Structure 1
Amino acid sequence: MSLVAGIDAGTQSVKVVVYDGATREVVASASAPLELDSREDGSREQHPSDWVHAMKACFDRFDADVRARIEALAVSGQQHGFVPLDAAGQVLAPAKLWNDTSTSAECGQIMDALGGPSRTIALAGNPILAGYTASKLPWTKRHRADAYARLATILLPHDYLNFVLTGQRWMEHGDASGTGWLDVRTRTWSSDLLKATDPDRDLSACLPPLVAHDAVFTISPGIANELGLPATAKVAVGGGDNMMAAIGTGCVTEGRLAMSLGTSGTLFAYSDTPVVSDTGAWAAFCSSTGGWLPLICTMNCTVATEQVARLFGFSTRDGDAHLHATPPGADGLVMLPFLSGERTPDLPRGKGVLAGLDPHNMSPAHLYRAAMEGATYSLKYGFDAFVAAGMRFERIVLTGGGANSAAWRQMVADVFALPVDVPKQAEGAAFGAALQALWALGHAQGDATSLPELVAEHVAVDPTQAATPDPARVAAYRAPYQRFLQHLDAVAPLYRPAPA
């Protein structure tokens, strides 16, 4: 009769799912919205207390008997965010998030101190890209000097919720990869990267200990009482939202490719060994399962379609009709949907671009299609780097809010020329966190089932949502995708990373 819970603290909301491993059913779910503080300089911030209030609001919506049966939980969180704590564990400033591009100049400064991007990759496996945690430290030192002087602990969003739940500070390797400081080959902090971030301070003293993916903690009595959970409930390590989505979509063995269509768009594939790009074409992250997770991230995905829908006064729930009313390629209309800057391609100062307008395609339907195509083409741009490196995939498993659109699922199948599957559990990150909690609980109790074995037992696809490439549309998307790449090449010089 025991249950597990997965908590996903995203950019737009906090979601919680409660899962019954015996019946393999989600027995309860809830979400609470979050506000985003956006400014013209590229700043994107949230208050960590808002995540806590939203988490509590979700648990408040569950029946008391459901909460009383939760034996373990795990947290999934948006990656890269910087939560600064003082020695007493108090938050010193708003959290700068993954899509914050105000620190893009600091990325260059850190890499220049090391000898450039190539040397940075050689040292730790990744360049320092816009949004990574490392760049937020020198920005904070310059703009929030008092907070920086009092800084005692550096946490990521999911780490902070773990701290609230357990009173303990730790970080696991998957989410730690997104700081920019982790040497992903050795799973240790890079002293060179830390020194380049601040040569005048030992930042390693501010980093919590790294723990393995099978570590388990006990919930603090106070928060257990507030949430209505047993005082004996266990807290698994959790991880970044992409790492948890990898678990929730079954991307825990080699050969699988997962795509998340959320506020950001991501592609990730599991590997038993580090997969580093010498040019930084993808993020060489660790997984939260003991392996590695080569990953492509775009900063503008559903945000683009939502903005167009809002502009013309319709809901994205009605967006599929606009897709059906327009042909592949949007009759020549091209959108580069870089509304919040962009990471793939690496254009942190990027802006949205519309090209190819004429009297025939200047309509809400065409703009909506162009936004969806632009978000999809950006992911295809990253996918091409995977393929060029020799990676091969037979199917795509799709998750995130965009996966709810039948038209978008079909577009992905056609643009990538690969069959698309959708898991029965739509909330991939929250469900992945629940599965990690389920596995960690059993592992701690002596169950020898491996995490991939458990995932294979619990992750199932919904055949009614599958999409198969249509040969005619596969061909029809080739020229529009090339047109997207041509426009990208033309405008990229305008939006290259700012000089250090």
Structure 2
Amino acid sequence: MSLVAGIDAGTQSVKVVVYDAARREVVATVSSPLALISDDDGGREQHPADWVAAVRTCFDRIDPAARARIAALAVSGQQHGFVPVDADGNVLAPAKLWCDTSTTAECARIMDAVGGTARAIALAGNPVLAGYTASKLPWTKTHRPDAYARLATILLPHDYLNFVLTGQRFCEHGDASGTGWLDVRTRSWSADLLHATDPDRDLGACLPPIASPDALFDIAPAMAGQLGVPATVKVAVGGGDNMMAAVGTGCVEAGRLAMSLGTSGTLFAYSDTPVIDAEARWAAFCSSTGGWLPLICTMNCTVATEQVARLFGFEAREGDALVRATPPGAGGLVMLPFLNGERTPDLPLGKGVLAGLDTTNTTPAHVYRAAMEGATYSLKYGFDAFVHAGMRFERIVLTGGGGNSAAWRQMVADVFGLPVDVPAQAEGAAFGAALQALWALRRAGGDAASIAEIAREHVTADPALSVTPDPARTPAYAAAYRRFLQHLDAVTPLQRG
């Protein structure tokens, strides 16, 4: 009769899912919003205390009877963030987030120090990109020297919440591979990249130990009391939000492709071996379940459609009707939706571009469609790199807030030319964290089931939301995508400075 819970600490909100595995039923889904601190230099930050407060708020909204039945939980957290913590566990400064592009110059300096981008890929499997944790350390050393001097432990957002829950400092391979320091081939820290980040300090001493994917920790008694859960609750290692979304969409075995349409957009595919690209067209991450997760990330997805909705004074949920009222290709309107800079394509200093305006397409509906198409084409740009490398997929499993849009689901099917399924459990990352907790709890009890077997048992598609490509629209989208690429080629030299 026990339950498992998944906590997803994202950029916009904290979500908690409570799952009854015996009945295969979600018994509670709650959320609490988060504020974002934005600066003109590309800085994007949050206060870690706000995450903790949001977690408490979420648990307060769950029926006490359900909370009392929770046996294990796990945390999914936004990747790449930097939470500086002192020896006593105090947070020293706001957390710089994945979408923070203020440290672009620091990325270049770190890679120059090891011999360039190719050398960084040789050392870790990935370059140090804008938003990755590594570049946030020299930025903090320069701009927040007092905090940097007192730094004892480097924690990612999900690591910090685990620290709050358990009182222990640890990380795991999936989220750690997004720091820029982890050699994903060997699953060990790169001494060369750590030294390049700060040659005057042993940053390795600030990194927490890496826990195994199925490890369990005891919840701190004080936190159990604050959340209203039993003092016997176990905390699984959890992982980065993309890694937990992979679990929640069943993308834990080869051949599956998952897409997340959230603030950022992601594509990821499970592999039993490292999948590293010499041109860094994707992130060669580890999974949080013992494998690898080649991943493509765009920094502007629902943020683009929501920005357009705010601009014209309507709610994003009204956008489907506007998309249906306009033709594929938005009447020639093209948006490069790089409002937060961009990672795919690699334009950290990029800005949004709206092109092709004329007297017929300058309408809220056309601009909204152009934003949705632009976000989708950015993901298609990354998908093309997967295909060029020989990866093949039969279907797309879609998650994230954008997946709630029927128009967006159909657009993905039409642009990618693949059928689209949507998991019955909409909160992919939170649900994935709950399943990871279930897996770890069962393994601790002697059950040898693999995470893939757990996913096959509990991850199901909602047949009412599945869509297939419409061949009547495919040519129009193909032409619009070519226009997108042409505009991208034209502005890239300008946006790279």
| Pairwise same-fold verdict (TM > 0.5) | yes
Paired residue type of 1:329? G
Match for 1:71: what amino acid?
A
| Residue 427 of structure 1: aligned partner | 427
Q: State the distance in 1 between where 2:115 and 2:467 align.
A: 46
Shift of 1:493: 1.0
What whole-Å deviation, never above 9, does each CA across 1:297-355 have from its counterpart, x for those lacking one?
Answer: 00000000000001111111111000011000001000000000000000000000000
Q: Which one-letter code corresponds to 1:488 in the other structure?
A: L
1:91-490 equivalences under 5 Å are 91-490=91-490
Q: How far does residue 47 in structure 1 lie from its aligned partner after superposition?
A: 0.2
CA deviations on 1:247-268 (whole Å, 9 max, x unpaired) are: 0000000000000000000000
Q: Secondary structure at the match of 1:178?
A: coil
* Alignment pair present for 1:44 and 2:44: yes
Cα offset, 1:437, TM superposition: 0.5
Alpha-carbon displacement from aligned partner over 1:23-54 (angstroms, at most 9, x marks no partner) = 00000110000000001000000000000000
C-alpha displacement at 1:444, in angstroms? 0.5
CA distance in 2, matches of 1:115, 1:494: 26
- What is the root-mean-square deviation of aligned Cα atoms in Å? 0.5
List per-residue Cα deviations over 1:168-200 (Å, max 9, x = no partner).
Answer: 000000000000000000000000110000011
CA displacement, residues 125-168 of structure 1 (integer Å, 9 cap, x when unaligned): 00000100000000000000000000000000000000000000
**1:435-460 Cα distance to aligned partner (Å, 9 max, x none):** 00011111111111111101100000
Shift of 1:225: 0.4
CA deviation map 1:395-431 (0-9, x unaligned): 0000000000000000000000000000000000000
CA–CA separation in structure 1 for the residues paired with 2:294 and 2:450: 21
Report the residue type matching 2:60 in the other structure: D
| Superposed displacement of residue 211, structure 1 | 1.1
Aligned with 2:392: secondary structure? Answer: coil
Corresponding position of 2:31: 31
Name the CA distance, whole Å, in 2 between partners of 1:474 and 1:251: 27
Separation in structure 1 between the aligned mates of residue 404 and residue 59 of structure 2, nearest angstrom: 25
Please list every run of 5 or more consecutive structure 2 residues that lacks an aligned counterpart in the other structure. none
> Using the alignment, how far apart are the partners of 1:125 and 1:471 within structure 2?
39
- Whole-Å Cα distance in 2 between the matches of residues 79 and 303 of structure 1? 17
Question: Per-residue deviation at 1:63?
Answer: 1.3
What SS class does the counterpart of residue 8 from structure 1 fall into? strand
Distance 2:199 2:175 in 1: 24
- Counting matched residue pairs gives 497
CA distance in 2, matches of 1:455, 1:248: 7
Q: Deviations over 1:213-265 (max 9, x none)?
A: 01100100000001001001000000000000000000000000000000000
Q: What code does the residue aligned with 1:97 have?
A: L
The code of the aligned residue for 2:316 comes to T
Deviations 1:86-111 (A, max 9, x none): 01010000000000000011000000
For residues 308 and 124 of structure 2, what CA distance do their matches in structure 1 show?
39
> Within 2, Cα distance between the matches of 1:439 and 1:486?
46
Quote the Cα distance in structure 1 between the aligned partners of 2:262 and 2:417.
21
The letter of the residue matching 1:179 is T
With 262-271 and 311-320 compared, the bigger mean Cα shift is at 311-320
State the 1:476 CA deviation: 1.3
Distance in 1 (CA, whole Å) between partners of 2:304 and 2:441 is: 39
Give 1:3's aligned residue: 3
Deviations 1:273-300 (A, max 9, x none): 0000001000000000100000000000
Match of 1:69 in 2: 69
Q: Deviations over 1:366-408 (max 9, x none)?
A: 0000000000000000000000000000000000000000000
Distance 1:47 1:221 in 2: 24
Residue identity opposite 1:61 in structure 2: R
Describe the superposition over 1:450-481 as per-residue Cα deviations: whole angstroms up to 9, x where unpaired.
11101100000000000100111111111110
How far did 1:64 drift? Answer: 1.1
Q: TM-score scaled by structure 1?
A: 0.99
Q: Give the Cα separation in 2 of the matches to 1:246 and 1:495.
A: 32
Q: Which runs of 4+ in 1 moved over 4 A?
A: none
In structure 1, C-alpha distance between the alignment counterparts of 2:38 and 2:431, rounded to whole Å: 29
How many Å apart are 1:495 and its aligned residue?
1.7
Provide the secondary structure at the position in 1 that maps to 2:14. strand
Alignment partners' CA distance in 1, 2:373 and 2:29: 31
- 2:375 and 2:417 map into 1 onto residues whose CA distance is 16
Separation in 1 of the partners of 2:410 and 2:50? 36
One-letter amino acid of the counterpart of residue 30, structure 2: A
CA distance in 2, matches of 1:38, 1:368: 23
Distance 1:448 1:130 in 2: 40
2-side partners of 1:227 and 1:124: how far apart? 38
SS of equivalent residue, structure 2 residue 26: strand
CA distance in 2, matches of 1:136, 1:450: 36
Q: Distance in 2 between matches of 1:254 and 1:62?
A: 36
